Amino acid sequence: MLTYLRKRIISSALPLVVVVVGVFALARMTGNPASLYLPLNATDAMRADFIAKNGLDQPVLVQMADYFGGLLRLDFGTSLRTGEDAAAMALRAFPATLQLAATTMVIAIILAIIVGSAAALKPNGLLDRLASFVSMAAASIPDFWLAIVGIWVFAIYLGWLPTSGVMGAAAWVLPVATLLMRPFGALVQVIRGAMVTSLSEPYIKLARSKGASEYRVVTAHALRNAAAPALTVAGDLTVGLVNGAVVVETIFGWPGIGKLMIDSILQRDFAVLQACVLITAIAIFILNILIDLGYALLDPRVRPTAGARGKRKARTITSTTEPTTPSEPTVPAVTGANA
């Protein structure tokens, strides 16, 4: 397992560097921050002093080398807007995004297990067709459109829910409901397909013939075997929520890392933007490793065992080492003269 983790870390290092370099270059294509942070009547001397103070007068390659040198010292730079440490600002906003994504996925998994399992009990039945229609519709609705409609109906027209903020349970309803639809729709389809396959296996018929209740057959046997593919999809969807909650956080004013990223782009706060992207990329990398480990725990077939390693080692030794057999003594032939 440690070898697997080491290989994953090495293989993920290059994409991480590419992401950081790409964001570094694209951020500087948005324009000069001096036009935002200096007054309109600023003189050329004031602009030159601002640019030199923040190291923006150096070539881009030199700025990039300084930035990577700072990363090796765990120095992400300081915010142009507030003067705070960029990493501290990103880490302060990241838990809000993680809480929103985790809450959404827990609710989506619970609802998807209930709906998908119920639909799989009678394939092509009324409930199965209804669940398929609802899940496909939920997975197809754009997040930004659903967020705007939700605000207009439930916040403005009915006045039941707040339009933004995080104070109180009511403030969670619209953001969670908006992010919930896509993972719920995808998980229902995956769980329904896996459950249909599991319920048709011989061990399910054996469990029923032994008098096991339908609830135990579904939960203890079929659902357990259907959990492995569902876990993989749920993990990928969770990564997508962490990475793609930017629009929802901006619409609802959710103080997460997505909103901070958008604010940093609009304000050309390069250090904070780079810190947000790097921390998000590291979090996604860790989530992917946890997903793979969880899949290995649920499905022993993808888990390397000591016996399998021993057999592979024995086969390698056998194939590389030629067995030696003792040579038989040569018996002289008996001729007529000797006889």
Does 237 fall in a domain?
yes
* Domain span holding position 169: 96-265
**Cross-strand pairs, 78:** 85
Residue located via tokens 């604010």: 263
Three-state DSSP at 212 gives coil
Phi-psi region of 50 (alpha: psi -120 to 50; beta: other; left: phi over 0): alpha
Residue 186 identity (one-letter amino acid): A
Length of the chain: 339
DSSP string computed for 29-77:
GG--THHHHS-TT--HHHHHHHHHHTTTTS-HHHHHHHHHHHHHTT---
Q: Give 122-158 pLDDT, tens digit per residue.
A: 888 888 889 889 888 888 888 888 888 989 999 888 8
pLDDT at 335 over 50: no
Which of these, 103, 105, 84, lies nearest to 95 by C-alpha position?
A: 103
In the prediction, which pLDDT does 310 show? 45
Give dist(CA 234, CA 244) in Å, integer.
15
Does 278 fall in a domain?
no
Does 143 fall in a domain?
yes
Give dist(CA 77, CA 84) in Å, integer.
9
In the prediction, which pLDDT does 299 show? 59
Does 89 fall in a domain?
no
Q: Are 91 and 79 in contact (CB under 8 A)?
A: no
In the prediction, which pLDDT does 77 show? 82
Mean pLDDT check: name the lowest of 102-106, 161-165, 220-224. 220-224
Which of these, 74, 64, 75, 55, lies nearest to 25 by C-alpha position?
A: 64
Mean pLDDT check: name the lowest of 150-164, 212-226, 291-305. 291-305
Positive or negative CA dihedral for 185, 186, 191, 192? Answer: positive
The model's pTM: 0.72
The CATH number of residue 261's host domain is 1.10.3720.10
- Mean pLDDT for all residues in the chain: 77
Q: Give 256-300 pLDDT, tens digit per residue.
A: 888 888 888 888 888 888 888 888 888 888 877 777 776 666 655
Phi, psi at 39, each rounded to 5°: -65, 165
Q: How many domains does the chain have?
A: 1
What number is the average pLDDT over the span 20-37? 77
Does 215 fall in a domain?
yes
DSSP at 84:
S
